[in-house]
Amino acid sequence: MTEGLSNVHMQVMWNRLIAVVEEQALTLVRTAFSTSVREAGDVSAGVFDREGLMIAQAVTGTPGHVNAMAAAVRNFIEEIGEDKVFEGDSYVTNDPWKGTGHLHDFTFVNPSFRNGRLVGYFACTAHVVDVGGRGFGPDASEIYEEGILIPIMKFAERGVVDLSLINIIRNNVREAEQVIGDLYSLSSCNDTGHQRLMDMMDEFAIDDLQALRDFIFENSLGATLEHLKALPPGSYRNELTVDGYDGPVTMKLRLDVSGETVLADFDGSSGLSSKGINVPLIYTTAYTCYALKCALAPQIPNNHASLSPFRVTAPKNCILNAVHPAPVAIRHVLGQFLPDVVFGALHKMIPGMVPAEGSSALWIIQLGASPIDGGQPADGETLRSSQILMFNSGGSGARPKLDGLSATAFPSGVHTMSSEITEHTGPITIWRKELREGSGGAGAQRGGLGQVIEISANPGHRIYINAMFDRCQHPARGRDGGRPGAPGCVQLDDGSELSSKGRQTIPAERRLVLNLPGGGGYGDPANRERALMEQDIAREYISGQQASDDYNYQP
C-alpha cells in the first residue's frame, strides 16, 4: 500500500507521526496523579518499529527519559520474547539499567497491532513520587535500599491487568494512590498513541510503518552526517569537577570527531561513589547524546537514525557507568552536568557556539511531612503524612550573544510546580520563591539568576528533606573571560548551614532556605553594554555595588 508515495506524502506522515506521539505524551500529563508529571512534565513518549528502534518522539518530555528510552524498548522485546507479544499487552519496568537510570522512573511499552499484525510499539516514561525504600535521596549504599525494583514484565496481558503486581507495588510505596494512578496513566497513554496511529494509517491507507520508517531514518541520518562532515576532525578534551556526596567528583571527556561519528569517551572520570549519585551508562548516554545533538544537529528530529552517529563509552564502574547493585537514586545530578562537560569540549572545537556552564542539575526538593505527636493543626487542616516533590532550577549559562536564562531547567527541560499546587499536596507553606539577586556570573553576557526558596511545615507537623543539591562548592564557570555564577547554599532561616546531600530534619520552629546557584557569564564584563547594566540594576538582578565591583560601572 506504500508504493508510489511521494516525498511530500512521506513528510506529511512524518509530521503526523510526531503529532501522534505528542498527543500520547499530553494524555499522560492530563491524566497523571503525581505533580512531577501533571505539573512539571517529567515524561517522555515515542513510537518504535517492530525491532524496537525509535521512529519519532514527542516534543513534550525530558532528554534523560526519551534518549534512554530509545535504547530501552529493545530490552523489553528481548526480555518478553517476540513469541509472547500479544495484542492488548502492556509491559513495565523501573529497572535502572534497562529503563531510564533510577527506580523512580517507570517505563511502559505497549505493542501496536493492525489487523492482527504487529506494526510497532509505543513507549512512555514518567517519574513517580515514591518507590518505597529510603525515599528519593542519595543516602542508600546499594540499589536494594532505594526501593522496589520491578523487572521487565507484563503489566497487562491481552488487556487484563496483573492485579497481583498492583498489590505488591501498593504495599511497598508510601503514596500508593498517586503511584498506582500514574501506572495506569502510563499504560493508557500508550493506548492513546496506538488509537491515533490507527486513525493516521486509515487516513493514508497504509498497513505498516516500514516504508515511512525507512524514509525517516534515511533522511535523518543523511542530514546528521552532513552536519558532522562540516566539523573540524580531531580529539577535544574537557573535564568538570562538581561537589559529589562526600567528596568532589570529576568527569573527564575526550571527544573524537570524524565526518561520520562522534565518540564521547569518559575514561579517567571518578570511580563509584558509596552513595546514590552514580549514573548508569544508559543515562550517561542519554544526556551526552542530547548535548551533542543540540549543538551539532539541532534541527533534525530525534530518532534512532539521527542519534546513531553518536557513541558513548565509559569504564565499567566509573561513576558514569555504574552497574548493579550500585545505588543510583539521584543519577540526575551528575547526569545533568554532562552537557556542560560536552560543551566545554565543543568550545575548543568551534569557539563562540556553546553557552557558559549553568547550574544545570535540578534542585529537586523531596520533603517528607508527618504529624508531631500532640501537635495541633492549623484551622481547617487535618494532620497527615505526605511525600512532597518539587522541581526547581538555578540559572543557565550565558550564551555567546545573549544573557543566560534565569531559573530555567536546562538541560532537563521540566517545569517547576506552582507553589499553590505544591502546598496542596502536603502540609507545608512556601513563604518565598524569588530570583536571587547577584547570582548570575558577570560577563559581557550575564549568567542567568538562581532563586531563593523558603519553606516550612504547617502547624502540628514536622518535615525532613532528602537533599540532592550541587554547585555549592563548585559554581558554574564562565567562558571567554566571563566570571562564575554564585554557588548554591542550603540553610535555615537563622543562618545555620545544612548539608547539600542527604536526609536532614528541619526543626519545627525553623524554615528551610534554599539559595540556588547562578549561571556563568560569557565574555569580559568590561564589554557589557551600559544599557543592559542599567536595566539589571533597575530590575534588581544585580546591586549597584556588584555593578561597580564586577563591571566597573559608574552611575
* Residues 6+ positions from 490 with CB-CB distance below 8 Å: 467, 469, 472, 497, 498, 499, 500, 512, 513, 514, 515
What is 233-298 written as a DSSP string? PEEEEEEEEE--SSS-EEEEEEEEE-SS-EEEE-TT--B--SSTT---HHHHHHHHHHHHHHHH-T
Which pTM does this prediction carry?
A: 0.94
Helix (H, G, I), strand (E, B) or coil at 73: helix
Q: Please say whether the beta carbons of 133 and 222 come within 8 A.
A: no
Residue with cell 548493579: 324
Give dist(CA 364, CA 465) in Å, integer.
10
Give dist(CA 73, CA 95) in Å, integer.
12
- What pLDDT tens digit does each residue of the chain (555 aa) get? 444 458 888 999 999 999 999 999 999 999 998 888 888 888 899 999 999 999 999 988 788 887 888 889 999 999 999 999 999 999 999 999 999 999 999 999 999 999 999 999 999 999 999 999 999 999 999 999 999 999 999 999 999 999 999 999 999 999 999 999 999 999 999 999 999 999 999 999 999 999 999 999 999 999 999 999 999 999 999 999 999 998 999 999 999 999 899 999 999 999 999 999 999 999 999 999 999 999 999 999 999 999 999 999 999 999 999 999 999 999 999 999 999 999 999 999 999 999 999 999 999 999 999 998 766 666 666 777 889 999 999 999 999 999 999 999 999 988 888 899 999 989 999 999 999 999 999 999 999 999 999 999 999 999 999 999 999 999 999 999 999 999 999 999 999 999 999 999 999 899 999 999 999 999 999 999 999 999 999 999 999 999 999 999 888
Residue with cell 496483573: 162
Q: Which three cell numbers stand for residue 45?
A: 513518549
Give dist(CA 76, CA 46) in Å, integer.
14
Kindly report the number of other CB atoms within 10 A of residue 505's CB atom: 11
Helix (H, G, I), strand (E, B) or coil at 158: coil
Burial of 175 (0-12, 13-18, 19+ CB in 10 A): buried
Give, as one character, the DSSP assignment of residue 509: T
Q: Please say whether the beta carbons of 304 and 256 come within 8 A.
A: no
For the chain, domain boundaries: 7-220, 355-555
Residue with cell 555595588: 545
* Residues 6+ positions from 405 with CB-CB distance below 8 Å: 395, 396, 448, 519
